Amino acid sequence: MLYYRLIVFCMIIYKGILREAGYKMYKINRKISLNPTVTLMDIYAPLVAKKAEPGQFVILRVDDEGERIPLTIADFDREKGTVTIIFQIVGATTKKLGEKNEGEYISDFVGPLGKATETEGLKKVAVVGGGVGCAIAYPIAKKLYAQGTEVHSIIGARTKDLLILEDEFRAVSDKLFVMTDDGSYGEKGVVTNALKRLLDSGEKYDEVIVIGPMIMMKFVCILTKEYGVKTTVSMNPIMIDGTGMCGGCRVTVGGKVKFACVDGPDFDGHLVDFDEAMDRASMYKPFEKHAYESTCNLLNK
């Protein structure tokens, strides 16, 4: 935990030195709309890119008056010094971030935080991504594939228009299964349908890695527990400082309190109390909605 506090402290000092020198650091090098509510950005952050690994995250502020929000590292390019983030516009801060354009800057970009996903020694893995969770699952699938692991990817969304990163997953998967709730693309159904079919057909996985909405991860874990397959989930609860000091990101795992920012964000999915995590996340939805609507009104004036 002390390690993460030192990272944040050093970044604050480093940022202050840069500002005194008149240097703006976190430039938006690329911006792409993946669907009506999901945006991809490449941020110039060479120190973060140098150390980033799949499964880790950053905490950013759009401006000096903004709140801190966590976003998972969707990709990185050490040579270019860029970190890719993918976010859905759901609240005030993501709305402000989405208004930024290529060539503009954001105020803070701290990381990499959290523990990287453990991939060493895995021979065959099923990677399951749902919705925006595909942005977190993709770099993990990419690393697994690059190290020679056999990767079976299952990605899902409510409709075809909300599906993201299909081509990217196809390039790093030995098998790819695409699911949509309404059947507008790929196969109609949820990700557990495809995973159950694979398990029933005799596929043996060292591990299933699932990332997406909590309700989706919960039901994938219920399924894999029946088959005795180790399952890792990535938890993304409310976070503030990213160092374990605020306690906002606490989750119950195996009956013990863990902090997603320093103990995770990856956890054994069969031990996570998803019902508690979902209840805590829903507490903030009214505030998030109010902040989003207030921001929209300000931007439209």
Q: Which residues contact 253 (CB under 8 A, 6 or more apart)?
A: 263, 267, 268, 271, 272, 273
pLDDT tens digits for range 101-120? 999 999 889 889 889 999 99
pLDDT tens digits for range 5-51? 565 555 555 555 555 444 457 999 999 998 888 899 999 999 999 99
User: Where does residue 223 fall: left (phi above 0), alpha (psi -120 to 50 degrees), or beta otherwise?
Assistant: alpha
pTM score: 0.82
The DSSP secondary-structure symbol of 118 reads: P
| Residue 161, domain CATH | 3.40.50.80
Whether 104 and 166 map to the same domain: the answer is no
- 166 in any annotated domain: yes
Is 235 or 245 the better-scoring residue by pLDDT? 235
Give the pLDDT mean for 283-296. 49
Cβ burial, residue 46 (10 Å; 0-12/13-18/19+)? middle
Please give the Cα distance from 273 to 60 (Å, whole number).
28
Please give the Cα distance from 148 to 125 (Å, whole number).
11
Whether 148 and 211 map to the same domain: the answer is yes
Q: 3-state class of 228 per DSSP?
A: coil
pLDDT value at residue 94: 86
pLDDT value at residue 283: 63
Find out whether the peptide bond into 265 is cis, omega within 30 degrees of 0. Answer: yes
Supply φ then ψ for residue 212, to 5 degrees: 165, -160
- 107 in any annotated domain: yes
The DSSP secondary-structure symbol of 30 reads: E
Q: Which of 113, 137, 156 is the last residue of a domain?
A: 113
Q: Which domain holds residue 231?
A: 124-282
Tell me the chain's radius of gyration from C-alpha atoms.
19
H helices within the chain, ranges in order? 2-20, 46-51, 92-99, 134-146, 166-171, 191-200, 214-227, 260-263, 274-282, 285-299
pLDDT value at residue 30: 94
Whether 133 and 275 map to the same domain: the answer is yes
Whether 103 and 129 map to the same domain: the answer is no
Q: Which of 113, 140, 157 is the last residue of a domain?
A: 113
Whether 27 and 104 map to the same domain: the answer is yes
Residue for token pair 């996570």 = 272
Nearest to 112 by CA among 93, 84, 90: 84
pLDDT tens digits for range 121-170? 999 999 999 998 999 999 999 999 999 999 999 999 999 999 999 999 99
Whether 136 and 198 map to the same domain: the answer is yes
Whether 225 and 176 map to the same domain: the answer is yes
Exposure on the CB side of residue 74, measured as CA atoms within 13 A? 21
Whether 185 and 100 map to the same domain: the answer is no
Whether 216 and 73 map to the same domain: the answer is no
Please give the Cα distance from 120 to 289 (Å, whole number).
41
- 250 in any annotated domain: yes
Whether 230 and 151 map to the same domain: the answer is yes
Whether 131 and 109 map to the same domain: the answer is no
- 76 in any annotated domain: yes
The pair of structure tokens assigned to 60 is 């950013």
Number of structural domains in the chain: 2
| Residue 17, domain CATH | 2.40.30.10
Cβ burial, residue 195 (10 Å; 0-12/13-18/19+)? buried
Please give the Cα distance from 198 to 174 (Å, whole number).
13
pLDDT value at residue 11: 56
Q: 3-state class of 9 per DSSP?
A: helix
